[in-house]
Structure 1
Amino acid sequence: MGWGEGVAMVYRVVEAATVAAHLAFIGYLVVGGFLAWRWRRTIALHVAVVAWGVGSVLVGYECPLTDLENWARRMSGQPELPSTGFISHYLTGVLYPVDAVTLVRLLVVAVVLASWIGYFRRRPARVLAR
């Protein structure tokens, strides 16, 4: 393996790690509220993650993980992600049909809301007594 191939491999590792981090972020967005039932202090992190996710869909925030992946792809000589982004490239049409995007988004909202309702219903008795 030559120097150039070794450098490209490093960028591919960065790309793969970024994809894994992105998938973990999305997974935490969906189920993090349920994790907060056990680790109560994590609810603030989950609220922040959900706020970022909602903002990226509704407002169109630029995602730093997508930017990092695109940079690593460029550096390794691969094309960037399509302008539609990470989710449409890796998940839409792979995990669910393209025409089910709205349904999937509504299901994610329902899961998050259910987890938050459960979180507040599971508050310790001493907190409720105050």
Structure 2
Amino acid sequence: MTADCIAVIHALWIVFMITGGVLTLHALLTRHKGYLRWRFFRTLHVIGIVFVSILAGLQYYCPLTILENYFRGLSGAGEFGNFFISYYLNKFIYPDIPVYMITGATISLAVFSVVTYIIFPPKRDD
């Protein structure tokens, strides 16, 4: 059960990382810069994607992966657990594609996010 909760958090984190990149790209392509002013969201996204890209570049496991595996080991549930939802969540979190593709995409998204953050800094909260 705990491992499944961590898998949900992990999936939400991945969606957050992807969403930040998609929103940034959308704001640039449509010239609708509203999203680019969201200081809290963008700052958290840039910090998160840089952290994730460093882990990927160094080929370290995500701390959420380590926690999930630890709790799965304690419960004896196996790699994907015993539940339908946890099976598909883990297929989303750990897709069957080469690691270098995920690493390349993650680092590319981090570079894109940092450069965009520097060129279009978010509005300061007054």
Specify the TM-score bucket, using the shorter chain as the normaliser: 0.5 to 0.7
RMSD: 3.9
- The equivalent residue for 1:4 is none
Q: CA deviation at 1:30?
A: 1.4
Answer with 1 or 2: which has the greater Rg.
Answer: 1
- Where structure 1 has 5 or more consecutive residues not aligned to the other structure, the ranges are 1-12
Residues 72 and 41 of structure 1, relative CA distance in 2, 3 Å threshold:
same
In 2, distance between residues paired with 1:70 and 1:41?
Answer: 31
Residues 120 and 41 of structure 1, relative CA distance in 2, 3 Å threshold:
farther
Q: CA deviation at 1:58?
A: 0.5
* Cα contact 2:53–2:103 (8 A) shared by 1: no
Q: CA deviation at 1:109?
A: 2.8
The equivalences for 1:107-126 within 5 A come to 109=108, 113=112, 117=116, 120-121=119-120
Which structure's relative contact order is higher, taking Cα pairs within 8 Å and 6+ residues apart?
Answer: 2
In 2, distance between residues paired with 1:104 and 1:56?
Answer: 9
User: TM-score when scaled to structure 1?
Assistant: 0.56
User: TM-score when scaled to structure 2?
Assistant: 0.57
- The equivalent residue for 1:49 is 48
Per-residue CA shift, 1:6-30, capped at 9, x if unaligned? xxxxxxx211111111111111111
Alignment size in residue pairs: 105
